[in-house]
Amino acid sequence: MTELFRMNEAQPRLLDETGQGVIGAPMDRPEGLLKVTGRAPYAAEQRPDGLVHGVLLRATITHGRVTGFDEGAVKDLPGYLGLFHGPEFVALPAQGMSTAAPLQPDGAVGYHGQPIGLVVAESFEVARDAAARIGISYDEVPGAPVDPSATPLEANSGGDTETGDLEAAMSAAAASVDLTYTTPGHAAAAMEPHAAVAEWQDGRLTLHGALQMLQFNKAELADALSLDPDKVRLLAPYVGGGFGSKLGISAEHVAAAVASRALDRPVRVVMARQTVFDAVLRRSETWQRLRLAADAEGRLTAIGHDDRVSNVADQGFLEPVSAATRFLYAAPSRLMRQHVSRNHRTPAGSVRAPGEAVGMLALECAMDELAERLNLDPLDLRLRNIPETHPETGQAFTAHALAESLRDGARRFGWDARPETGTRREGEWRIGMGLASAARTNLLIPSAARVTLGPSGAVVETDMTDIGTGTYAIFAQIVAEVLGLAPDQVEVRLADSDLPPSSGSGGSFGASSAGSAVFLAARKIRETLIERIGGAPNTVRFADGTVEAGGTRHRLADLVSEPLAMEAKIEKGETAKSHFSSGFGAHFAEVAVSDVTGEIRVRRMLGVFGIGRVLNAKTARSQAVGGMIWGVGAALHEALEHDPRTGHIVGRDLANYHVPAHADIPRALEVVFLPERDDEANPMQSKGIGELGISGAGAAVLNAVHNATGLRLRDYPATPDKVIAGLDGLGRA
């Protein structure tokens, strides 16, 4: 029986009282050795008997319909097994957390590079050759719109909010800004390419996939194949990154399953890196207009955030650009408004920190521009405008560390030594400092887990995934702390859809949501054992494989001669209505800008964050560092480029899509976690971190560029050509 727990009130801090010393420690990943020695089997490395290989066939038009395939040139290839296509194929990747997968009706083509079929052969080489030779005929719709700026805009009225009178506040303000920013599309480009190995036995599908959210992926895949979900089993014990691109199922999963069922053999489909870029969800490009107004004391009187994004027709996801703007700062007049361009580029979807990653580039740079108009320190402007409650909903905030993060970070970084704009030089290099706030909504997603305690230790079971975020380590730490075990006495079994369903990995909610279910199941075992020995809960101590009560010590192994299993599920409750939970933080950056080349070098960075209880100091720091690096990439490097004729992505690999390399990231990159507990977030008092690390990081870099040079760039990324042009426009000293 599963015990259901709803978050209806602030939670007691059991993990502050347990005393085992495991939770929060910088524990190494239990699976780390397997990964670095190449012995952790990822989806593409599964090799069931009789395995054959599939290569996706993709559209070479932008918009229209497939009218036929010509296999004449491939039927005699040795080992060629066939071409599979039809309405079962996923036209657009699913978004995750859905119950249905979008299908490709009657051969419709919505974007150049869209998967339209699967070629299968005994060897990968023959399948790849055959895919290149098959002739495809189309009924093409000419002139399909691929440029978001040349497409009629639709209003996303569901995302609009308006309070007060923005125009009047702008007119009456002591200082105001009305600025436009643009960001390009971004790719998730996880290290592990998208892959699937499908096999059928007795009418049941087993699929090894690179997937983030198995509970939802199982439903999506069953829907695409017209199956009962009980006929689908998904396995994803090791996933080499996702960043949103593996939230839902996509073409390789459905294609492998369809072909495997027809051939009665296991089928393996692995996307080439170029196919990942072409056919997997991208982050939308954005156009953003920021309007900010303030009185003479620097109190915001108006915040306006208009944005435009794009996606293909019929896709519901729209980049939530103003997500952080809605609650980060207070102002009586507020306007948030979004419009969407429907075009025929690769579909847009969730990429790490959807909304905040690009929205805060604009918001936090605009805040600095307003501070300059007010002749006010950017730090002071932010501190003066932190709201008491959520500005739109009136909800109370849970633990709110923005002010402390800004003050603590300023002290650590030496903000008081920030130079006057454009005054500090070292030869050809101009030096400057910048800051930005960080914020990312914290979510609690329904999750279940089972914990079993036996004489030799404990076992954790849940379909939660580890996409490089440290789940194996964190869940072992939670159970070890609650039950007084060593971490190596806890076995963690993950990513099997036959196990209790969890939130999955995404949205920075995995560790806290699925981890809370693990915590609750372990706590139930703890309570049961306390009842068995007749101790008072506040006097019992679990430590080092023993339970001590009233001066008597019991070995755990003696108390569970028969395994003791408990299952728990957590979901939102009343606190989700009364309180708003978010991670908060602050970013600080120092940059050097070359007068000669326009190159921007990040010399040092600091991120200070309030994330509630830290569950593992090492993996939490890694998540924050990774996020900050991604923020640098968004500010200085990353941009998807599209062919203006067809809309397809032209920088289709990591040689041409520029991401930060080792030389771009300073060794002096520091992360600080404030001592915080968020009692309304979940029973462990923890919050997410990975996406918080991105949110605002790029803006701190760009604000530092202005401090160094006096140059304000609003078309991102800030590449050297734009810097040189800007410096020329300012006139070089």
Give the torsion sign (CA, 530, 533, 538, 540).
Answer: negative
Give the separation between CA 72 and CA 264, rounded to whole angstroms: 24
Using CA atoms, how far apart are residues 563 and 690, in angstroms rounded to an integer?
Answer: 36
End-to-end CA distance of the chain: 74
Supply 447's token pair.
């999750």
Three-state SS for 673? strand
Dist CA 368 CA 375 (whole Å) = 10
Among 358, 403, 285, which Cα is nearest to 696's? 358
Exposure of 545 in the CB half-sphere (CA atoms within 13 A):
12
Burial, 557: exposed, middle or buried (Cβ in 10 Å; 0-12, 13-18, 19+)? Answer: middle
Based on its alpha-carbon atoms, the radius of gyration of the chain, rounded to whole angstroms, reads 27
Q: How many secondary structure helices (H) and strands (E) does the chain include?
A: 16, 33
- Phi/psi zone of residue 730: left (φ > 0), alpha (ψ -120 to 50 degrees), beta? alpha
d(Cα 275, Cα 290) in Å, to the nearest integer? 36
Residue 39, Cβ density class (10 Å: 0-12 exposed, 13-18 middle, ≥19 buried): exposed
- 């909903």: which residue's tokens? 393
Quick one: which of 439, 513, 468 has its CA closest to 694? 439
Distance, CA of 449 to CA of 490 (rounded, Å): 14
Structure tokens at 388: 């008491």
For the question of residue 691 being annotated catalytic, the response is: yes
Which strand ranges, in their side-by-side order, compose the sheet holding 267-270?
Answer: 80-84, 115-121, 52-58, 267-270, 195-201, 204-209, 232-235
Spatial neighbors of 439 by CB under 8 A, at least 6 apart, are 324, 327, 328, 356, 360, 402, 582, 583, 584, 585, 692, 695, 696
Query: Active-site residues: which are they?
Result: 691
